[in-house]
Amino acid sequence: GKYFPPLLKTSSYKIIVKPISGLQWINHYDKNLCTKSLLLSSSISSILFSCVGVLFLIGTNSIRNTSAPRIIEQLEDTIDLVRFNYGHLQSKVDISIISVFPCHKTSKLFPSISSLTSNVNNYNILLEDLSIRKDFSIVHLPITVEHLNNDGLHIRFPYVSILWNFLEQYLADLIIKKSTFTRCIPRSRTAIQKRKKNLLADQIHR
pLDDT, tens only, 147-205: 999 999 988 888 888 888 888 888 888 877 776 655 554 544 554 455 444 444 444 44
Q: Establish if 1 belongs to a structural domain.
A: no
pLDDT at 206 over 50: no
Q: Is 69 helix (H, G, I), strand (E, B) or coil?
A: helix
Strands 137-139 and 95-98: parallel
Q: Decide if 181 is inside a domain.
A: yes
R_g of the chain computed on alpha carbons: 21
- Tell me the mean pLDDT in the region 17-42: 89
Can you give the CATH number for the domain in which 33 is found?
Answer: 3.40.50
Structural domain includes residue 2? no
Residue 88 lies in a domain: yes
- The number of distinct structural domains making up the chain is 1
CB proximity list for 56: less than 8 A, separation 6 or greater:
35, 95, 96, 97, 98
Assess if residue 100 is contained within a domain.
yes
User: To the nearest 10°, the Cα dihedral for 30, 33, 37, 42?
Assistant: 110
56 located within any domain: yes
Q: What is the pTM of this model?
A: 0.81
34-89 tens-digit pLDDT: 998 999 999 899 999 988 889 999 988 899 999 999 999 999 999 999 999 999 99
Give the CA distances from residue 50 to residues 54, 86, 136, 158, 179, in Å, rounded to whole numbers and listed in that order. 11, 10, 19, 33, 15
| Gap between the Cα atoms of 46 and 53, Å rounded | 13
CA 170 to chain centre: 12
**Structural domain contains residue 46:** yes
Give the domain range for residue 88. 7-205
